[in-house]
Amino acid sequence: MTGDLAIHNGLGPVQQSNVTVVFPQKHGDPKSSVAGMEKLLQDAEYLLDYAAESGISLDPAMVATIIAAEASDKLNNEDAVKAIAAVTALSAQLQPVSAKTLRACKDEAQRTVKTYRRIAIVLGIFLLVSSMFSFVTDRLSSVLENDIVAANELAITLTSAAMSATTPEAKAALNADPRNLTNLQQFFTTIRDLQRVSLQLNVFVLGESRAAESMEVMYPIDMHREVMSTLPVYQSIRSFAKDVQERTALFYGALSNFLLPPLYAILGACAYLLRSFSEQVRTRTFSPSRTDSARFIIAAIGGGAVGLFNNFTMGENFPPLAIAFLVGYATDIFFSFLDRIQQSFTKGKPA
């Protein structure tokens, strides 16, 4: 009774459990008048092979009964009853391992792990790229905001100084003041940085290309002329920067709140299924189930709920995306939490 013999006997796809239903034979002469005895003995071969490989001690009389039934060309009703009782005892001793799970570990485990691995790789790459883009755009938006604040303060200071110089003597004093020259230099530098960062950020929101505006200081320096000629340029660049900033907040805000949480939850569900799959294959209890695909759908629903209520955080160490991943990994806990909330709302209501 070896695995080679089981292959020679022509094992087909996994049917239903032998405990609940016995299928009639479709070809060849049956070993017994009891329908399904051939498949029952084939299942017993799988179980005996597993017990031998795992070093599980079995009742010799039970093993002898199964071997004798397998070797016999024809079983009478009494021998069939003994064989069924022996196979039943063998199945009960090896639970939760069964012939069905052993077949699944041999025939379907490789395909299942490839499916989970593809899902994890595709999701991982997309989430890594989108998270990187979100991080970069967030930092660039912060730099834009700081540059706009600094440029506004310098524009007010320089404009006030330039407008207050109405006489030739006051204009000469304005041009000779080192503080005004320093402020003007800082103003030009800030505007250039603002323009550079806004053009970089515009790429991440797929905005229309825009040429950089040229800003040159004319010598000898006339503070009033430079300030008055630079203000319109600054206002144009600031308007463009604010527009890019708003589009970035809108696009990546929608991405972070509505798309990423369900995907992180699906990734968490995939992590759970891979962990559960590896444990089931190790213990030979793996059995394909249609509930796996339902778990992905449930995880997506839970992740979407976390995205909609993204203000719910468990401290600074648990942002919404982390909660979405945990929801996908432990969907049962999440929906138990929802059930408790439902009970708290319905508590005390009359039947």
pLDDT score recorded for residue 345: 77
Question: Residues 83, 140: one domain?
Answer: no
Contacts of 323 (CB under 8 A, 6+ apart): 306, 312, 313, 314
| 101 lies in the same domain as 157 | no
Same domain for 94 and 150? no
| pLDDT at residue 26, rounded to an integer | 41
Residue-wise over 258-268: b if at least 16 C-beta within 10 A, else e? ebbbbbbbbbb
For residue 121, tell me if it sits in a domain: no
pLDDT at 310: 67
Same domain assignment for residues 137 and 229: yes
Evaluate whether residue 114 is within a structural domain. Answer: no
Strand-pair partners of 32: 75
pLDDT at residue 11, rounded to an integer: 34
pLDDT, position 54: 84
And the tokens for 333?
Answer: 């806990």
Note the pLDDT of residue 41: 87
Does residue 122 lie within any of the structural domains?
no
Regarding whether 292 and 229 lie in a shared domain, the answer is no
Q: Do 33 and 98 sit in the same domain of this protein?
A: yes
Q: Are 243 and 262 part of one and the same domain?
A: no
Nearest to 203 by CA among 259, 137, 106, 262: 137
324 & 270 share domain: yes
Residues 6+ apart with CB under 8 A from 162: 174, 223, 224, 227, 228
* 288 and 304 both lie in a single domain: yes
Q: For residue 114, how many C-alpha atoms fall within 13 Å in the half-sphere facing its CB?
A: 5
251's CB contacts (< 8 A; 6+ apart) are 205
Asked which of 253, 281, 303 is the last residue of a domain, the reply is: 253
Q: Per DSSP, what are the bridge partners of residue 75?
A: 32
What's the pLDDT score for residue 35?
Answer: 57
Does residue 242 sit in the same domain as residue 142?
yes
Name the phi and psi angles at 32, rounded to 5: -150, 165
Q: Each residue's pLDDT tens digit in the chain (351 positions)?
A: 334 333 333 333 333 334 333 334 444 566 655 557 888 888 888 889 888 888 888 888 998 988 888 888 788 888 888 888 998 999 898 988 888 888 888 888 888 888 888 988 999 999 999 989 999 999 999 999 999 999 999 999 999 988 888 888 888 888 888 898 899 999 999 999 999 999 999 999 988 888 777 777 777 788 888 888 899 999 999 999 999 999 999 999 889 888 999 999 999 999 998 898 888 888 888 888 777 888 899 899 988 888 877 655 444 556 788 888 999 998 888 778 778 887 877 765 555
Q: Would you say 313 and 323 are in contact if contact means Cβ atoms under 8 Å apart?
A: yes
Same domain, 207 and 302: no
pLDDT at residue 143, rounded to an integer = 95
Q: Are 277 and 119 in contact (CB under 8 A)?
A: no
How many Cβ atoms from other residues are within 10 Å of residue 200's Cβ? 15
Q: Residue 320: its pLDDT value, please?
A: 83
pLDDT digits (tens, 9 = 90+) for 185-195: 999 999 999 99
Cis peptide before 220 (omega within 30 of 0): yes
Strand, coil or helix: what is 75?
strand
Positive or negative: CA dihedral 340, 342, 343, 345: positive
> Is 277 within the bounds of a domain?
yes
How many structural domains compose the chain?
3
Last residue of a domain, one of 253, 277, 305: 253
Q: Which domain holds residue 288?
A: 258-346
pLDDT digits (tens, 9 = 90+) for 252-267: 988 988 899 999 999 9
Domain for residue 133, yes or no?
yes
pLDDT of residue 317: 59
Instruction: Out of 203, 231, 253, pick the residue that ends a domain.
Output: 253
Give pLDDT, residue 168: 85
pTM confidence score: 0.69
User: Within a domain: residue 32?
Assistant: yes
Do 72 and 185 belong together in one domain?
no
DSSP 268-332: HHHHHHHHHHHHHHHTT-----THHHHHHHHHHHHHHHHHHTTT--SSTT--HHHHHHHHHHTHH
Using alpha carbons, list the distances in angstroms from residue 164 to 158, 161, 182, 228, 230. 10, 5, 18, 13, 17
